[in-house]
Amino acid sequence: MLSEKRKKGIDLIPLGIGDPDLTTPELIINEIIKQVRIPENQNYPASMGEQEFREAVARWYKVRFNLDLDPSDEVSNVIGGKEGVANIARAFINPEDIVLCPNPGYPVYENGATKLCDANPYSMPLLKENNFLPNLDAIDRKVLRKAKLMYLNYPNNPTGAIAPKEFLKKAVEYAEDYNFIIVHDNPYSEFTFGDYIAPSILQIDPNHVEINSASKMFNMTGFRCGWVSGNKEIIKGVRKVKSQIDSGCPIFIQKAVIKGLNEYKSVEKPEIVERTIKTYEKRRDNLVKGLNDMGWKTDKPQATFYVWTQIPKKFCEMSCMEFVKSLIEIGVIITPGIGFGQYGEGYVRFALTQPEERINEALERIKAFLS
Ligand SMILES: Cc1ncc(COP(=O)(O)O)c(C=O)c1O
């Protein structure tokens, strides 16, 4: 449908995919150019990451979360967070195991991780009435006993929700009682607005693992560099799988990401990150106001670059997919909630990854369409 529209020369405004339109900071680009010229940086990397890279991640955890991690065995590089999400399952999940997955959620938890290990995803509904947090008390005890791993992701894609520390504490208690691993996927840790500072699950309990990546933090989705940190036995498993599958993230990319991470001097976001967040904050305010002004009731997310909202009342007879298709007709591309699982039905996700003028243009078109 989209390629047809493109062929016809229709002006499409892509607010679907979470790929930043903002560019990688100059500081990092210059470092890549410098590092790529050094012959040693053109060789095979270590799949677990260079020692210097792992040290930079540990240092970042110290300044950002006040945590002490040992770079020799509590950190591994991954080729983007997606690889980490999938390979952790490869290390620990056997056929028929249960993996607890948020729904709606990043689709790789259920598909690339769980199902490719012949295991069974158990969907934890993220509902508006629970502030898009899973209701852990509602999970059947039999399911919990069979669960090997739980994916959590706050700040959350697609809902933009954040998790209070009390919720993370409760999740950790469940993990202890039922003996499963928590993988906290945290690529939006820096995508927070106002005074809110996103925590690390490792601050609550260092016995689990957390994934983060340069993709969103430094607008580096195309460079493929991330990290998994936490419990050494879990990190050992990830490294073991990776050593037989990939040959790591290019050394010159790792070195450039070190440069970015070293910009952090405290919990405060450094200028290269703050600039990005301020841009998204303005876009968020603009989009949410525009939608509410036209009668499309939409809440302002406290984090992420996504706006998650129920399709307008007037269209509630439609599935979210049908609604999204009708917006494609006017050249506005957003993501149907069902793409993140069955509990996403009735919702759509806007990604704030277009300049303000384009968001305004999308708002104009949507306004005309709704009326
Ligand atoms: C929740 C979540 N996890 C992981 C990723 C993967 O990020 P990357 O592999 O680029 O680090 C994304 C990307 O959109 C995401 O939204």
Distance between Cα 310 and ligand 1 center (Å):
23
| 41 neighbors 252 (Cβ within 8 angstroms) | yes
Q: Tens digits of per-residue pLDDT, 249-268? A: 999 999 999 999 999 999 99
* Confidence tier at 65 by pLDDT (50, 70, 90): very high
The Å distance, Cα 364 to ligand 1 centre, comes to 30
When pLDDT is averaged across residues 8-30 and rounded to a whole number, the result is: 94
What pLDDT sits at residue 187? 98
Nearest atom, ligand 1, residue 85 CA: 4
Residue 20 Cα to ligand 1 middle (Å): 12
Q: 3-state DSSP call for residue 16?
A: coil
Atom 7 (ligand 1) nearest CA: 81
Q: How confident is the model at residue 7 (pLDDT cuts 50, 70, 90)?
A: confident
pLDDT at residue number 299:
98
Average pLDDT over residues 113-122: 98
CA 112 to chain centre: 15
Residue with tokens 């970015």: 260
pLDDT at residue number 10: 83
Is the per-residue pLDDT at 150 higher than 90?
yes
Mean pLDDT value of segment 25-39 = 98
Q: Does the beta carbon of 18 sit less than 6 angstroms from any atom of ligand 1?
A: yes
pLDDT at 200 over 80: yes
pLDDT of residue 3: 78
**Phi, psi of 76, deg, nearest 5:** -135, 145
For the chain, what percent of residues have pLDDT higher than 90? 97
Q: Which residues pair with 303 in a beta bridge?
A: 192
For residue 154, what pLDDT is reported?
98
Please tell me the predicted confidence (pLDDT) of residue 40: 97
Has residue 286 got a pLDDT over 90? yes
- In the reported structure, the alpha carbon of residue 78 is separated from the centroid of ligand 1 by a whole-number distance in angstroms of 12
* Mean pLDDT computed over every residue of the chain: 97
Predicted local distance difference test score (pLDDT) of residue 6: 76
**pLDDT tens digits, 213-230:** 999 999 999 999 999 999
Give the C-alpha separation, 322 to 315, whole Å. 10
Question: Is the pLDDT assigned to residue 97 strictly greater than 90?
Answer: yes
Mean pLDDT within 114-134: 98
> Is any atom of ligand 1 closer than 6 Å to the C-beta of 80?
yes
Q: Is the per-residue pLDDT at 26 higher than 80?
A: yes
With pLDDT > 70 as the criterion, what percentage of the chain qualifies? 100
Q: Say if ligand 1 is within 6 A of residue 81 CB.
A: yes
**What ligand 1 atom has the least distance to the C-alpha of 214?**
11
Residue whose token pair is 């390979």? 87
Please give the C-alpha separations between residue 299 and each of 133, 157, 212, 213, in angstroms, as whole numbers: 16, 15, 26, 27
pLDDT average, residue stretch 333-353: 98
Residue type, position 147, single letter:
A
Could you tell me the pLDDT band of residue 36, with boundaries at 50, 70 and 90? very high
User: What average pLDDT does the segment 349-367 reach?
Assistant: 98
- Distance from the Cα of residue 166 to its chain's centroid: 21
Kindly list the structural domains of the chain, giving each domain's residue range(s) and its CATH number in brackets, ordered by start. 2-16+271-370 (3.90.1150.10), 26-261 (3.40.640.10)
46-56 pLDDT, tens digit per residue, is 999 999 999 99
- pLDDT value at residue 4: 78
Is the pLDDT at 2 greater than 80? The verdict is no
Band the pLDDT of 1: cuts 50, 70, 90. confident
- Confidence (pTM): 0.97
Q: Evaluate: CB of 208 within 6 angstroms of ligand 1.
A: no
Q: Which atom of ligand 1 is closest in space to residue 19's alpha carbon?
A: 14
How much is the average pLDDT of 146-158? 98
What is the whole-number distance in angstroms between the Cα of residue 108 and the centre of ligand 1? 9
> Among the residues of the chain, which ranges form H helices?
2-7, 26-36, 51-65, 81-92, 141-146, 165-178, 201-204, 214-217, 232-245, 251-261, 271-293, 320-329, 356-370
Distance 368 CA to ligand 1 centre (A): 33
Q: Is 319 in the pocket of ligand 1 (CB under 6 A)?
A: no
Fill in the amino acid letter for 333: I
Distance 142 CA to ligand 1 centre (A): 30
**How many residues make up the chain in this entry?**
371
Distance CA 135, CA 287 (A): 30
Task: Report whether residue 224 contacts ligand 1, using a CB cutoff of 6 Å.
Answer: no
In this structure, are residues 294 and 367 in contact, taking their beta carbons and an 8 Å threshold?
A: yes
The yes-or-no verdict on residue 288 having pLDDT over 80 is: yes
357 CA from centroid of ligand 1 (Å): 26
